[in-house]
Amino acid sequence: MERIKQVLKRYRLVVAGIVGGLVIFWFSIGLFVAEGKRPAANGKHSFVIVLGAGVRGETPSLILENRIQAAAAYGKKYPRTTFILSGGQGQGEAISEAEAMRRGMIDEGISEKRLVLEDKSTSTTENLRFSKSLLPKGENQVSIVTSDFHLYRARTEAKKVGLNSDAIPAKTPLSGVLRYGMRERVAIIVKFFE
């Protein structure tokens, strides 16, 4: 009986250590996610890359709608910016994410003359690489609009393709905070080991 108690005690300590380690790890990655929001964009860059996120038929997902709203608000505040709307057409999408953003930005009062479409990308890395090719030669200073949870990874990828960036965070819908937060943390870990 005494032996069983010792084994159970040791087992509880191991489980507590693992759980504690995972909690610390989870919050540590959260610090990276928070760091992605800094520095905040202040209008000094002429070009803004807006990253795509799911379209249902021809309707932007809630995540994409929030990105459109954040970009449009920024565009109204800084009317000399040009937007590169970046996102291809995925399975089940009747139009590209770039086209959905174009329509949304125009609906929000942003002139079509300020919009450039990049409609071939299928990943964050492609969003940034393909968007960079649309910038004037020698330009590498941009602002990036994406969901708040996604900024750290997006800006890290931007740096890898030679872009210096600041951040325009789009709010994550409350319904997606846990889901997207978990997914993004896993993506950060995967990218770390690549």
Query: pLDDT at residue 120 above 80?
Result: yes
Q: What are phi and psi of 37, to 5 degrees?
A: -80, -5
CB hemisphere CA count around 55 (13 angstroms): 27
Q: Give the closest residue to 93 by CA, choosing from 54, 66, 124.
A: 54
On whether residue 54 sits in a domain, the answer given is yes
pLDDT over 80 at 48, yes or no: yes
Please report whether residue 18 resides in a domain: no
Which pLDDT tens digit goes with each residue over 171-188? Answer: 987 776 666 677 777 777
Domain count, the chain: 1
Do residues 49 and 15 lie in contact, with contact meaning Cβ atoms separated by under 8 Å? no
Q: Answer positive or negative: Cα dihedral of 122, 123, 128, 133.
A: negative
Say if 85 falls within a structural domain: yes
Confidence of residue 22 (pLDDT cuts 50, 70, 90): confident
Q: What is the pLDDT of residue 72?
A: 99
Confidence of residue 148 (pLDDT cuts 50, 70, 90): very high
Q: Provide the residue range defining the domain that includes 132.
A: 36-192
Asked if residue 120 belongs to a domain, the reply is yes
What pLDDT is recorded for position 92? Answer: 87
**20 occurs within a structural domain:** no
Q: What is the pLDDT of residue 29?
A: 67
23 domain residue, yes or no: no
In a domain, 6, yes or no: no
- Let me know how many helices (H) and strands (E) the chain has, helices first: 6, 7
Confidence of residue 36 (pLDDT cuts 50, 70, 90): low
Q: Across all residues in the chain, what is the average pLDDT?
A: 90
Residue scoring higher pLDDT (13 or 140):
140
pLDDT at 183: 73
pLDDT of residue 174: 72
Q: What is the pLDDT of residues 11-21, one digit of tens each?
A: 888 888 888 87
Tell whether 28 is covered by a domain.
no
Q: Rounded to two decimals, what is the model's pTM?
A: 0.83
Q: What is the pLDDT of residues 86-110, one digit of tens each?
A: 999 998 899 999 999 999 999 999 9
- State the Cα–Cα distance between residues 29 and 61, nearest whole angstrom: 26
Report percent pLDDT > 70 for the chain.
Answer: 92
The CATH number of the domain holding residue 62 is 3.40.50.620
